[in-house]
Structure 1
Amino acid sequence: MAMATSLMAALVLLTGLFTANLDVTGAESVGVCYGMLGNNLPSKWEVIELYKSNNIKRMRLYDPNQAALEALKGSNIEVMLGVPNSDLQSLSNPSNAESWVQRNVLTYWPSVRFRYIAVGNEVNPNDKSLSQYVLPALVNIFNAVRSAGLQDQIKISTAIDMTLIGNSYPPSAGSFRGDVRSYLDPIIGHLAWAKTPLLANIYSYFSYVGNPRDISLAYALFTSPSPIVWDQGRGYQNLFDALLDALYSSLENAGQPSLDVVVSESGWPSVGGFAASVDNARTYLTKLISHVQGGTPKRPGKAIETYLFALFDENQKTGAEIEKHFGLFSPNKQPKYPLSFGGERKIWDFSTEHNETISLKSM
């Protein structure tokens, strides 16, 4: 009886540890984008502490801000480091790319845990002044990272937006626009060869507000009680899945069926435009964080690495007013929504030093 009790206790412990590992892995699939276009934002050190205190384990950084990189040292936060579009032409020169990697990556590695380098963000393929430099810059940064022996630790990609998709409905018929194929095909070909995911900024909000007649708010907010769209036997209960699967189909139709996707931005504004409200933003973000742990109908069972946009409201962003109101936190560091990135529920408490915790998040 004592042996049976001990065996049962051991099984329970192993099950609990396995569950804890699953929960932590789920929480870590979600990061937060750190934009700095505000004149009222906290210091870089305060921001890193905000990430740590909220158990946010991944950050998207849009440029190699030296103060932010210094503050990230030893934080254990995984970083997606951006190459600004303004640097693409310079980095099409291999020696400039080597210097960039040395200055902004190798100087900080491994104290800063770089996960990706995003070479350009939402470059318009028809803007030849920029688009012609994306692939050369991407390849040169890749070669510089490979020369340092870090190609398996740091993946080099670029971030696209969903305007590159010409057809997204139904998701299985997803395809890229014809006029972007000459730009995109060599890029995704390189990414597939390098076993690197494509980065994609996916906003259910903009798809919804662009067509509220045909897209319901419940479908956009993950609150539909049943599938809205059926496609080849797959039921789609939310717009996010439909958009991501349309992108997967587009990659398949472009000859890259094995290419994975990281959602490098997603979010919902709290004010400033149609359907922008605190309630809608809270619902979208909360549902998204839990939803991305399970994959899409087309690719089920695998967590979708997702980055929530953005950490703060940014009062110096240009464009539409809503662009200033995507923050998860106000500039005074107070949360706008009760979002959980982990650390709230203790699964095991062996001692005051050893806790396992849980939670989720995304954009």
Structure 2
Amino acid sequence: MDHSRFQQQCCTFIIIITIFVAGLATKTESIGINYGQIANNLPSPENVVSLIKCVGATKVKLYDADPKVLKAFANTGIEFMVGLGNEYLSKMKDPNKAQTWIKTNLLPYLPSTKITSIFVGNEVLTFNDSSLTSCLLPAMQSVHTALVNLGLQKQITVTTTHSLAVLQTSYPPSSGTFRPDLASCLAPILSFHDKTGSPFLINAYPYFAYKDNPKQIPLDYVLFQPNQGMVDPSTNLHYDNMLFAQIDAVYSALGKLGYGKLPVHISETGWPSKGDEDEVGATVENARKYNGNVIKLSSKKGTPLKPDSDLNIYVFALFNENMKPGPTSERNYGLFKPDGSPAYNLGFSLSSSSSSTSSPPSNDAAKNGTSGSGAGAPPQPPTSSNGYLAISSAKSLERYHLIWLSLSFLLPLLMILKF
């Protein structure tokens, strides 16, 4: 073989390997998180930045357009989905008011703060309020039109969130169908998503299914623990966890209406660490298994029905929020306590930058086995016996082992080229 040709082929091969190695080195896990603020004891947004980063989150869902939060996250690279609450829907039907809202609440923070989406309304279709339902699509259209007028439509998408209760049937996943009474509302909304390229957002909580039927639904199945799972008789696809089954039920329902290619994002999912006596399963142990595994799985691809689709999941929630109404569980979905210490050990060590928001753990925290990030040693990585996937240095070690192998293969080639 001609020596120059051999050198060219080797150089091409080295370039390919280099790109592969670079991809391994830069690949990071990606998870979204819901940043709720129905509380009177939360840390300042400036101190929240480090907490978001230490979880490994790259996306945040904010229920409003809080200027303090948007300013604090400038130049962090973290993507924001901001919310227009249900109380805004009637006003947002007016395109001029929608444009004024965007100019006032979003433009001052662009492009420093990476705002990528606006969700208009929260679970409107299952709110049982016909006046809200009639306003939803016009409000979404007005906000999108305003973005077009401002030249932001390619940067910011418009969507809305739905409860899983929009489904009439969800089991088995292939039988997923939307409620017939919502068909007339959903069809034009799905058409809007299709035309604008925005995702269909669903709030999915396996916790609620388990709480209502603890004798029929295996706990391991909802917590991503080893289990027999279930096989969908129509597709022969195997499901070893309920969340993926719920996601695929939504995909099936969309497919039946002709929108099977719409991306489905999980705008909320989580598990409470505490509940009332009748809230079965609301424990620290179950919360850390569920949320820890959701964060771990976010770096993987797809569901059984959509294996090549990205898993876009937003964990609910960042903090325990002490002013939320309802049962005890509503105030105990947080990964963190208001002082910045972990509500429980998720299986990864917090970076030292988060210590500024944290206080030493209380005696109660020590009794409950939870950890504070400001009291010396960080939480210990879990072992396999803990029942949840470790988010630790193991994945990084595996990645850098692959990098080392790749480089060890490159060095001999470089020596050959030299001569």
TM-score, length of structure 1 as denominator length: 0.88
State the SS of the aligned residue for 1:303. Answer: coil
State the SS of the aligned residue for 1:151. Answer: coil
Q: Paired residue for 1:82?
A: 83
Runs of 5+ unmatched residues, structure 1: 349-363
Find the aligned partners of 1:297 and 1:134 in 2 and give their Cα distance. Answer: 32
Q: How far did residue 307 of structure 1 move?
A: 0.5
Matched, 1:290 2:291: no
Q: Paired residue for 1:94?
A: 95
Matched, 1:129 2:131: yes
* Larger Rg belongs to: 2
State the SS of the aligned residue for 2:232. Answer: strand
More helix by share: 2
Q: Against the structure 1 CA distance between its residues 190 and 39, is the aligned structure 2 distance closer, same or farther, given a 3 Å change threshold?
A: same
Q: How far did residue 184 of structure 1 move?
A: 1.4
Q: Deviations over 1:90-134 (max 9, x none)?
A: 111111001011111222110110111110111145311211111
- Given that residues 174 and 232 in structure 2 are in contact (C-alpha distance below 8 angstroms), is that contact kept between their aligned partners in structure 1? no
Q: How far did residue 255 of structure 1 move?
A: 2.0
Matched residue type, 1:224: P
- Given that residues 80 and 115 in structure 2 are in contact (C-alpha distance below 8 angstroms), is that contact kept between their aligned partners in structure 1? yes
Tell me the number of residue pairs that the alignment of Structure 1 and Structure 2 aligns: 343
Q: How far did residue 337 of structure 1 move?
A: 2.5
- Given that residues 164 and 176 in structure 1 are in contact (C-alpha distance below 8 angstroms), is that contact kept between their aligned partners in structure 2? yes
Matched residue type, 2:78: I
Q: Paired residue for 1:175?
A: 177
Higher mean C-alpha displacement, 251-260 vs 222-231: 222-231
Q: Paired residue for 1:279?
A: 285
Q: Against the structure 1 CA distance between its residues 170 and 41, is the aligned structure 2 distance closer, same or farther, given a 3 Å change threshold?
A: same
Taking the TM superposition and a 5 Å limit, the aligned residue runs for 1:173-212 are: 173-212=175-214
Find the aligned partners of 1:10 and 1:99 in 2 and give their Cα distance. Answer: 50
Q: Deviations over 1:252-272 (max 9, x none)?
A: 112211111111111001011
- Given that residues 60 and 78 in structure 2 are in contact (C-alpha distance below 8 angstroms), is that contact kept between their aligned partners in structure 1? yes
Residue 19 (structure 1) aligned to one of 2, 15, 24: 24
Q: How far did residue 230 of structure 1 move?
A: 3.0
- The one of the two structures with greater contact order (alpha-carbon pairs below 8 A, sep at least 6) is 1
- Given that residues 63 and 83 in structure 1 are in contact (C-alpha distance below 8 angstroms), is that contact kept between their aligned partners in structure 2? yes
Q: Against the structure 1 CA distance between its residues 228 and 96, is the aligned structure 2 distance closer, same or farther, given a 3 Å change threshold?
A: same
State the SS of the aligned residue for 1:133. Answer: helix
Runs of 5+ unmatched residues, structure 2: 1-6, 351-390, 401-419
Matched residue type, 1:327: G
State the SS of the aligned residue for 1:80. Answer: strand
Q: Paired residue for 2:368?
A: none
Taking the TM superposition and a 5 Å limit, the aligned residue runs for 1:232-271 are: 232-271=235-274
State the SS of the aligned residue for 2:42. Answer: coil
Identity of aligned residues (%): 36
TM-score, length of structure 2 as denominator length: 0.77
Higher mean C-alpha displacement, 228-237 vs 307-316: 228-237
